[in-house]
Amino acid sequence: MRVPANEGGGVVKQRIALVDDDRNLLASVSMLLEAEGFAVRCFTDGASALEGLGADPADLALLDVKMPRMDGMELLQRLRKRSDMPIVFLTSKDDEVDEVLGLRMGADDYIKKPFSQRLLLERIRTVLRRHRKDAADPGEAALVRGELTLDRSRHLCSWQGRPVDLTVTEFLIVMALALRPGHVKSRDQLMDAAYGEHIYVDDRTIDSHIKRLRKKFRLVDGDFGHIETLYGIGYRYRED
């Protein structure tokens, strides 16, 4: 990933705030990110992170959900009152209600523990790329496919006018499918759309994303069936 240069010609490192009460995770993830050229600040609870980020914002924050003094949900809510900084949750909780709540409150993505280092890096880069793109082109038109609307500038999805809460990765997969209705996208093509061309993700990861996407759309419309599986080939978006 290219890192922007400052006016003096030096490299400006993108700043990541890592907030988690697990000191082993803080140590391992901060080492990983620093080795990839990021500048990392670590906080062990939400209250200290809120104070630190208020004084010196970051380019992206990774937040644990369950922390002492102030949990990740409350920290997200307070940060969103004053910043549009990209926020990704790191969580061991396996409750989709928490994910939907976090996304509605303004989180950009979720990563479930345990996670691979390679996947974590690609999710971070995807969110940062999306955030830079939105800032550079705030007037980008929405994509409308029948009852589906994808607002690319604000990263919002709706079906029949009702919001569908998607992570960044899920949004990019839906976008890749909806751009060309009726055309089949292989799992490899969807991997490239969601994660970039330089990372390998197991086929089952894409299948899991599709399963969760269908579930989320069916919470809005129980008859939703527009993401079709072509067994052995891939997926396509069916437009009525």
Phi, psi (deg, nearest 5) at residue 70: -160, 120
Using pLDDT thresholds of 50, 70 and 90, give the confidence band for residue 23: very high
Report yes or no: 73 and 65 within 8 Å, Cβ to Cβ. Answer: yes
Tell me what the mean pLDDT of segment 155-170 comes to: 89
Using pLDDT thresholds of 50, 70 and 90, give the confidence band for residue 4: very low
The confidence score (pLDDT) of residue 196 equals: 67
pLDDT at residue 11 is higher than 80: no
Q: Which of 95-104, 151-160, 177-186, 229-238 has the lowest mean pLDDT?
A: 95-104
Phi-psi region of 16 (alpha: psi -120 to 50; beta: other; left: phi over 0): beta
The confidence score (pLDDT) of residue 3 equals: 37
The CA distance from 115 to 120, in Å, is: 7
pLDDT at residue 203 is higher than 70: no
- The letter for the amino acid at 64 is D
pLDDT at residue 187 is higher than 50: yes
Q: Is the pTM above the cut of 0.75?
A: no
Structural element, H or E, at residue 227: strand 227-230
List the domains of the chain with CATH numbers.
15-136 (3.40.50.2300), 143-237 (1.10.10.10)
